[in-house]
Amino acid sequence: MRRIAHIDMDAFFASCELSQYPELRGVPMVVGGRRSDAPTVKPDGTREFARLRDYVGRGVLTTASYEARKFGVRSAMPTMTAARLAPDAIILPVNFELYRKHSRLFKEAVASVSSVIEDIGIDEVYCDVSMLEDDSETIARRLKTAVVEATSGLTCSVGLAPNKLLAKLSSEMQKPDGFTILTMEDLPGRVWPMAASKINGIGPKANERLASFGIDTIGDLAEREEPWLIEKFGRSYGAWLYRVAHGLDDRPVVTYSEPVSMSRETTFERDLHAVRDREELGTAFKALCDQVAADLARKGYVSKKIGVKLRFDDFKTVTRDVTLPSAIGDARSLRKAASSCIKRIDMVRTIRLLGIKAGTLSRPGSVEDAEDSAQLELKFE
């Protein structure tokens, strides 16, 4: 019988920060500040932290600790809104290097229990444990213990069930730092009372439409016949709704998949002018290209399609891309291609966000080596 585990780290970014600043345990804290919000060390050796009440800007939160969530603060919330809800909460800048480190340790810990892993995000994975001899509770505890030990104290929540759908639902049932085991027999008592929106794949619009038919819970959905769902929601989606309402999911744990693209972007702390802030824009442009090139090299890919994204002060987003005759991977060639895209954008407003993207990826051995090309500097004209 299949046994699939879904392992989800608890408040991952916040937990990573607490590993650096243990004095913040039990204190409302959010992540999403600027570099200037980094803590400072006082003469007595203690650290002084920035507070949400002093934040001025237009950023959004990356995450919030469970203590901050009690005030209604949540991830993706505008930081100024969070400041009104929890003015005394600590705010820390984003530290992706730290998060990537703990993500790697977390996934290595899961792999020590079972090597059949599907990586679905920086802080969550699916794991097929069907071949393990231990009972489900023992496996769940082994996974949790391995993660805590590997990450020096970070906790996770584990769901273990016959398929990926139920495993993901169950991992949410006892958060944080819990585990839940579901079987098909548990559907009526434990799954059907849950909101239909808890199913991954039922978004806000679909949930609103379901509600218009009086369908609020997974159990409500399970009461509808498949032909009715197909009539109302289409053949493919309607049939899928019927299956998931009855806990049916035969998707395998996919241990490897080719990336579609790699990208990096940055939102500026202030809107930048194409001419007056040319040097700052050029520095950011070069850094993003260098980061994408490093990502390509680290994962062993080259790219034939390079694109740029600009978001202006009116929130209008413009993208441009170019398809190259041969694939590239080095930063110099990437800058040249991205520069050609930027030249095709009318710089009529100040710039809020800049992004660089490499698509149409392949392995170097499968394409002709890119010809060396002269560097073309970024020009904002």
Mind telling me the catalytic residues? Answer: 124
Q: Each residue of 160-185: b (16+ CB within 10 Å) or e? A: bbbbbbbbbbbbebebeebbbbbeee
Is-contact 105 151, C-beta < 8 A? yes
Instruction: Give how far the C-alpha of residue 37 lies from the chain's centroid of Cα atoms, to the nearest Å.
Output: 23
Instruction: Give how far the C-alpha of residue 59 lies from the chain's centroid of Cα atoms, to the nearest Å.
Output: 17
Q: How far apart are CA 198 and CA 212, in angstroms?
A: 17
Q: How far apart are CA 368 and CA 376, in angstroms?
A: 22
Is-contact 191 169, C-beta < 8 A? yes
Q: 60 — alpha (psi -120 to 50), left (phi > 0) or beta?
A: beta
* Neighbouring C-beta atoms of residue 195, cutoff 10 Å: 12
- Could you tell me where the DSSP H helices lie in the chain? 12-20, 66-69, 79-85, 96-111, 136-150, 164-171, 204-212, 218-222, 226-233, 235-245, 278-299, 331-342
Q: How far apart are CA 272 and CA 269, in angstroms?
A: 9
Q: How far apart are CA 194 and CA 227, in angstroms?
A: 23
For residue 52, give Cα distances in angstroms to 65, 76, 81, 285: 13, 15, 10, 30
The closest of 73, 79, 72 to 94, measured between CA atoms, is: 79
The closest of 307, 378, 305, 306 to 347, measured between CA atoms, is: 378
Is-contact 314 360, C-beta < 8 A? no
Residue 360 identity (one-letter amino acid): T
The 3-state DSSP class for residue 60 equals strand
